Amino acid sequence: MSPVDLKRLTPVQIALIVGAVLILIGGIIAFTGGTSSNGVSPIAVSTGSSPSMGAGAGASATGGPVATPSAAAPVDIACGKPTTATSSTAANPASNATACTANSGWLSAAAQDPQTIQVNLGGIVSVDHVTIDWGSGYATKFKVRTATDGSNWHTINSVSNGTGGTQTVTLPAGTQTAWIQLYLQQAVSSSPFSIDQLQVFALPAAGAGAPTAGATTAPGTAIAPGGVTNGAWSGQFSGFGTAAWKSQWGFTNTGQFLLADLSEISTPTAPGGSEIQVHYGAGSSANSCKDCPTVGGAQFYQQLSSMGPEGVAMENSETLDLKYSIKLPAGWDFGEAGKLPGLYGGQIGQESGGNHGSDGWSTRYMFRDHGGSRNAGEIYLYTPTNSGPTGYGVDYFGTWNWTDDGNWHTVEQMVNRQTGTVTVWFDGKEVLNDPDIATGISSIPFSGVFFSTFFGGHDTTWGPKVAENSYFADFSLSTSIQH
């Protein structure tokens, strides 16, 4: 169509055109919610389908646009929660750090390393990240730790290059805890530590409402699948045996046995909020036992290689640290000896049970009669070049005993593939440090957790006189020391 030549229009035509334009402008104003000069809202003009015909996607029943839901803002779940520290000044107590607003903050009473500050979140919460507004005495090296009871702490992230200012530390996927602690190891210029504000966040999914501060999950709620994050991994037992649990653990069916003797127990007070019970029948021994009246114990392997690029990076690390919690009921029968979970590397089937090849190693624990004690602690070592004269492992005893008092205890081992050094801590105290014992493994990568526990030996003489159970919880791996 040709452009309109206004010079050829009559006054009546021009008036009609102007009137139409004014009507169109009025409709636009009405549609966008404008008001007339006298303050009366104009009549809305509907340009969409009628309700009976159905509104299209992104439109209201009357044709208006519908706002797309967005992710709710993260909530500081530490706001106003009880907070304590190893030391504080009178004017700057620990509670200042979680007082919901920036203020004079917390100041440690002494320039002494280490110091801790911890906040009680009021129940088990899914935590995404921690934000720290440092004062002048910031930590150049610190750890973020979690606990379900405020006493059994588990390191989930370590920072060795603290810069002060506002610092955010992302936590591994699926982190659930009732407490958050900052374990402050080194202050800048050897000054007292100072934190203006400590915030803990749980990020809701996009479109979800923001969680109520301090809201908790129901006991037994399955922990979301996670993986290796920033050189660290943690594994609980909620949802044990499910596809999600197997994915989160990097579980493989290869080499497993007697999983029916494992039972998940959802216990909010257990480290990590859940535990696994292992059953041992009276007189039971290794799965290979031919004369045992009953079976007992269980075994499965983790494969870090199934956890993506970060899992592979952890496999190829020079060091790997395994930490978990163990509980033995009072009066537990230790029998002759037995195996407990540890680390392994290389191919499954070449890391234990005799000389099966040159591409495997393991550092399980054992309890064994030693020095007059039937519950003496040791590292039971297999490597291609150090597995004893029979090929059935070498015993390296430490200075600890496994404790059968019905309470949770932590055990942690660090293996250095390059130096062959194996170090063990029991309840945070170093109880074994043997250099150059894990020989021949420098070229064999870490594979992960070797969950292996049973009595034996290969015959019934090794086992307990009565059926009994042990309990495990809160497994974690890190390329650095965790306690």
Q: What is the pLDDT of residue 104?
A: 79
- Specify the DSSP class assigned to residue 333: -
Confidence of residue 207 (pLDDT cuts 50, 70, 90): very low
Backbone angles phi, psi at 18, to 5 degrees: -60, -40
Rounded Cα gap, residues 156 and 323, in angstroms? 11
Bridging pattern class, strands 360-370 and 337-346: antiparallel
Confidence of residue 202 (pLDDT cuts 50, 70, 90): confident
Question: Mean of the pLDDT values across residues 326-330?
Answer: 97
pLDDT of residue 467 exceeding 70, the answer is yes
Q: What is the pLDDT of residue 19?
A: 53
Q: What is the pLDDT of residue 126?
A: 83
Contacts of 410 (CB under 8 A, 6+ apart): 152, 271, 323, 324, 325, 326, 425, 426, 427, 428, 483
Rounded to the nearest integer, the mean pLDDT of the chain is 81
Q: What is the pLDDT of residue 388?
A: 78
Q: What is the pLDDT of residue 215?
A: 37
Confidence of residue 309 (pLDDT cuts 50, 70, 90): confident
Residue 319, burial from CB neighbour count under 10 angstroms (0-12, 13-18, 19+): middle
Q: Give per-residue pLDDT as tens, 380-400.
A: 999 999 987 777 889 999 999
Nearest to 159 by CA among 177, 186, 178, 135: 186
| Cα–Cα distances in angstroms (integers) from residue 122 to residues 1, 148, 157, 172, 198, in the given order | 73, 10, 21, 20, 16
Amino acid at 348: I
Rounded Cα gap, residues 184 and 177, in angstroms? 19
R_g (Cα) of the chain, nearest Å? 31
Rounded Cα gap, residues 183 and 117, in angstroms? 7
pLDDT of residue 183 exceeding 70, the answer is yes
pLDDT of residue 206 exceeding 50, the answer is no
List 265's β-bridge partners, or say none: 275
Q: What is the pLDDT of residue 10?
A: 52
Give the least confident one: 67-71, 203-207, 282-286: 67-71
pLDDT of residue 336 exceeding 60, the answer is yes
pLDDT of residue 135 exceeding 80, the answer is yes
Q: What is the pLDDT of residue 401?
A: 97
Between 267 and 298, where is the model more confident? 298
Q: What is the pLDDT of residue 149?
A: 81
pLDDT of residue 300 exceeding 50, the answer is yes
Nearest to 244 by CA among 235, 257, 232: 235
Rounded Cα gap, residues 351 and 482, in angstroms? 25
Q: Give per-residue pLDDT as tens, 367-377.
A: 999 988 889 99
Confidence of residue 355 (pLDDT cuts 50, 70, 90): low
Question: Mean of the pLDDT values across residues 136-154?
Answer: 87
As a whole-number percent, the residues of the chain with pLDDT over 70 amount to 78
Q: What is the pLDDT of residue 391?
A: 78
Q: What is the pLDDT of residue 33?
A: 43
Residue 400: how many other CB atoms lie within 10 Å: 20
Give the least confident one: 16-25, 74-83, 111-120: 16-25
Do the beta carbons of residue 141 and residue 160 sit within 8 Å? yes
Q: Which helix (H) or strand (E) holds 308?
A: helix 308-315
Do the beta carbons of residue 383 and residue 439 sit within 8 Å? yes
Q: Give per-residue pLDDT as tens, 72-98.
A: 557 789 998 999 999 999 999 999 999
Sign of CA pseudo-dihedral 82, 192, 86, 127: positive
Give the least confident one: 124-128, 247-251, 301-305: 124-128
Q: What is the pLDDT of residue 60?
A: 33
pLDDT of residue 65 exceeding 50, the answer is no
Model-wide pTM > 0.75? no
